[in-house]
Chains A and B, each alone.
Chain A
Amino acid sequence: MSMIYLATFNWGWFLASGVLGLAMGWIAVVQRGQGWSAVMLRKVAVLIAALVLVSLFHLIPGRVGYWLDLGLAMLAVYVAGCAVGSWLRALVVSRPASADKA
C-alpha cells in the first residue's frame, strides 16, 4: 500500500531509476573487469537486507525514515531494471553466438 503511494507520488524518480538500471544492466553484460567480489556482493546484500528490516519495522522515525523507504524503493527499481537490462543484453549477445555455433 505504502509502496503504491510512494510510486504514485515519486513516479518520475522511480522511472528514472528503472531506466538507469536498464542501462546499467545492458552495459554490465559486456563490460570487462571483475566488478565486486562475491564477498563484497554478499556484504552489500546483507547490508541491504538489514536496511529493509529497519524500514519494515519503522525503526527510524520522521523524514529520515521516509528517505530510507524512498531510497530502498528506488534501489529495488534500479536492481530490477539492471536484471531486465542484463537479461535482454544477454539474449542479444547469445543469439548471434548460438547462430555461430549452429
Chain B
Amino acid sequence: MSRLAGWARKWWPGLIPLGFLWIGAIWTGTVPLETDLAARSTGALKDTVLDKTRISVSGRDVSLSAEAFSEEGRRSATSQVEAVTGVRLVNDETSLILEAKPFVWSVERDVVRVTLSGHAPLPAIKTKLLDAARTSLKGTEISDQMTMARGAPPRFDNAALLLIDQVSRLKDGKITLSDTGVSLTGMAREIGSREAILAALKNLPEGYSVKENAIKAPPYIFQANKDPVANTVTLAGYVPDNAVHAAIVAAVGRKFFSEKLVDNLKASVGAPQGFQNAAVAALGALSRVSTGSLVISDREVKLSGDALYAVAADQIRSGIGGELPQGWAAKADVSVKPVASAVDPTVCQQLFFELLGKAKIRFDSGRASIDKDSMGLLDKLIETALRCPTANIEVAGHTDSDGDNTANMALSEKRAQAVAEYLIKAGLPTDRLRAVGYGSSQPVAANDTDEGKAKNRRIDFVVK
C-alpha cells in the first residue's frame, strides 16, 4: 500500500496532458451529446399528449417546457424524459393548460368559409373535428381558430362532431356549444333543413341539451298559376308529403274543369300548420279568376288576377280571408276582366253547351246547396250569360231515375232555383231567368249504369 502511495506521488505530471484530453473531450463532445439527448428525449415523448413542447439540453440536463392536458400527463411526461439514458436532471417547466369555464366551442359558417373556434380539449380531438369538417363540407374553406383548454364536458367530441354535421345544412349561421348547452342561430340552407337539424339534435350525447334554437328557414313557398291562353294550371313549390300532394292535385281536378294541370311540386317538410286547407281554399279562389297567380309564402296567401265580373271580384276579395285557417293572412289583388263583346242568343246557347259539356254544376249529396268546387264553372256561365243581355235563360234541373219521382222533381227544382239565385246575386236580372225542375223526365243517357245516371243528374242552361 505504501508502495502504491509512493508511486502515486509521482503520477501528477500526467495530469497536465490529461487536462488537455479533458478539454478536447469537452470541445468535441458537448454539442453532439446534447443533440443526442435532445433527440432521444423528444422520441421518449412521442406518445405523450402535450402542447407546445420545447426541449432544450444543457450538458446532460434537459429542460422540458410544455403544456400538459392533465396533472397525470404532466407527471408522466417528466418521468418519461427522466428515464432517457444519459439524462442527469430534468428541469420541469411544464404547466397545465388553462381550464376554460364555461368550456365554449363554436362552429360558424359565413359566405366564404366555416370557422371552428373556441376551446378544444386535446390536439387529437382538434384534428378529428377539423377532419370531420373537411369531410362534411367538401369544397368549403375550413378555418381553425381553436385553442387548447381543459374542462371539456364528457363526450365533448361526439357532441361537437354531431354539430359539425349540422353546419352542412346551414346557409349561414353559428352553432355554439357552451359546456353542455347548444345554441344555434342562422339560416337553414333549404326548406326542411331546419327540421332535419332539429331531428339530428335529438341524438346529442346524454347530458347535452339545446338551449336556444334561432335557426330560420327560408319561406315555405307554394305557387299556382292559371294561364287561360295555354289553358293550364301550373303548380310549383313545396308540399309536405305525398298525401297532401294527392289531395291538392285532386282539388285542382275538381275546381279547374277545363285547364290542364302542370305539376312541378316537390315534397318537403317544414310546411306551416294548416297548409293543406289553406292551399285548397286559395286554389278555389284562383279557379274563379281568368288569369291569375297564387303565391303562398309561409302563412301568407297572395292572390292576384282578373275576376270574370264585378261581383265575383268582391266575393273573392271578401271570401278568401275567411276560408283560411287561423293565423293565416290573405292578400287578394283582384281586378275585373273587361267585359267580353256581346253575342247573340244562339252563340250564348252554344257557349253554355260547351261549358256544361266540360263540367257539371255539383251539389252536396241529396241537397240543393252548390258545391264550392263548382264556383269556377258558375263564374264562366255567368260571364257568358252577361254577354247575351237579350236572351232569357231557363235553368233546368234534372235527376236520374233513382228514388221517388216527386222527390226527384222537387230536388231538381230546388237545385235549379239555387243556381238561378246564385246568378241573380251575380247581377243577372231576375226577369231573364227561370228555374225549372224536370225530375228524371228528360234523361240524356240510359239510367241503367252509374255512368249514365251521373250524366242525367245535371243542370242545363237553355236559352229561350
In the complex, are the beta carbons of A62 and B61 less than 8 A apart?
yes
Please tell me the size bucket of the interface on A. 35 or more
| Chain B residue contacts of A13, Cβ below 8 A | 21-22, 24-25, 29
A43, B61: Cα distance in complex, Å: 31
In the complex, are the beta carbons of B11 and A79 less than 8 A apart?
yes
| Chain A residue contacts of B88, Cβ below 8 A | 2, 58, 65-66, 69
The proximity string for B residues 332-373 relative to A, scoring 1 for CB distances below 8 Å and 0 otherwise, is 000000000000000000000000000000000000000000
| Chain B residue contacts of A67, Cβ below 8 A | 22, 26, 30, 59
| With known contacts A10-B25, A61-B58, A78-B14, A66–B33 Cβ distance under 8 A | yes
Q: Among the listed B14, B30, B60, which residue makes an inter-chain contact with A82, where contact means beta carbons less than 8 Å apart?
A: B14
| With known contacts A10-B29, A86-B4, A62–B18 Cβ distance under 8 A | no
Q: Among the listed B3, B11, B36, which residue makes an inter-chain contact with A24, where contact means beta carbons less than 8 Å apart?
A: B11
CB of A51 within 8 Å of the partner chain: no
In the complex, are the beta carbons of A69 and B14 less than 8 A apart?
no
| Chain B residue contacts of A65, Cβ below 8 A | 59-61, 88
In the complex, are the beta carbons of A24 and B13 less than 8 A apart?
yes
| With known contacts A20-B17, A67-B59, A61–B22 Cβ distance under 8 A | no
| Chain A residue contacts of B3, Cβ below 8 A | 90
A58, B60: Cα distance in complex, Å: 11
Interface residues in B88-133 by Cβ distance below 8 A to A read 88-89
A90, B30: Cα distance in complex, Å: 38
Q: Among the listed A10, A41, A66, A70, which residue makes an inter-chain contact with B9, where contact means beta carbons less than 8 Å apart?
A: A41
In the complex, are the beta carbons of B61 and A74 less than 8 A apart?
no
| Chain A residue contacts of B32, Cβ below 8 A | 9
| With known contacts A62-B58, A63-B58, A74–B14 Cβ distance under 8 A | no
CB of B199 within 8 Å of the partner chain: no
B389 CB → nearest A CB, Å = 117
Interface residues in A48-90 by Cβ distance below 8 A to B read 58, 61-67, 69-71, 74-75, 78-79, 82-83, 86, 90
A83, B3: Cα distance in complex, Å: 11
CB of A1 within 8 Å of the partner chain: yes
Please tell me the size bucket of the interface on B. 20 to 34
B27 CB → nearest A CB, Å = 10
| Chain A residue contacts of B10, Cβ below 8 A | 27-28, 31, 33, 35-36
| Chain B residue contacts of A61, Cβ below 8 A | 58-59, 61, 89
In the complex, are the beta carbons of A71 and B22 less than 8 A apart?
yes
B141 CB → nearest A CB, Å = 47
| Chain B residue contacts of A40, Cβ below 8 A | 9
A38, B9: Cα distance in complex, Å: 7
In the complex, are the beta carbons of A5 and B21 less than 8 A apart?
no
CB of A98 within 8 Å of the partner chain: no
B93 CB → nearest A CB, Å = 14
In the complex, are the beta carbons of B33 and A9 less than 8 A apart?
yes
Interface residues in B218-243 by Cβ distance below 8 A to A read none
A13, B5: Cα distance in complex, Å: 26
Taking CB as reference atom, which chain A residue is nearest B25? A13
In the complex, are the beta carbons of A9 and B59 less than 8 A apart?
no
Interface residues in B55-98 by Cβ distance below 8 A to A read 58-61, 85-86, 88-89
| Chain B residue contacts of A35, Cβ below 8 A | 9-12
In the complex, are the beta carbons of B25 and A74 less than 8 A apart?
yes
The proximity string for A residues 18-33 relative to B, scoring 1 for CB distances below 8 Å and 0 otherwise, is 0011011101110101
| Chain A residue contacts of B17, Cβ below 8 A | 20
A33, B17: Cα distance in complex, Å: 20
In the complex, are the beta carbons of B59 and A64 less than 8 A apart?
yes
A51 CB → nearest B CB, Å = 13
| With known contacts A20-B21, A70-B22, A83–B13 Cβ distance under 8 A | no
A11 CB → nearest B CB, Å = 10
A81 CB → nearest B CB, Å = 9
| Chain B residue contacts of A2, Cβ below 8 A | 60, 85-86, 88
Taking CB as reference atom, which chain B residue is nearest A22? B14
In the complex, are the beta carbons of B7 and A28 less than 8 A apart?
yes
In the complex, are the beta carbons of A9 and B29 less than 8 A apart?
yes
A37, B288: Cα distance in complex, Å: 132
In the complex, are the beta carbons of B29 and A86 less than 8 A apart?
no
In the complex, are the beta carbons of A9 and B86 less than 8 A apart?
yes
* Besides the known contacts A35-B10, A37-B9, A69-B88, 4 further A-B residue pairs in the complex with CB atoms under 8 A apart: A5-B86, A61-B59, A66-B59, A79-B11
25 contacts across the A-B interface (CB closer than 8 A):
A9-B32, A9-B36, A13-B21, A16-B21, A21-B11, A21-B14, A23-B14, A25-B7, A28-B11, A41-B5, A41-B9, A61-B59, A62-B61, A63-B30, A63-B59, A65-B59, A65-B60, A65-B61, A66-B59, A66-B60, A66-B88, A67-B22, A67-B26, A75-B18, A83-B7
Residues of chain A touching chain B, judged by Cβ–Cβ distance below 8 Å, are 1-2, 5-6, 9-10, 13, 16-17, 20-21, 23-25, 27-29, 31, 33-38, 40-41, 44, 58, 61-67, 69-71, 74-75, 78-79, 82-83, 86, 90
Instruction: Report the 9 A-B pairs with minimum CB-CB distance, sorted nearest first.
Output: A66-B59, A35-B9, A24-B14, A5-B86, A35-B10, A28-B10, A13-B25, A62-B58, A86-B7
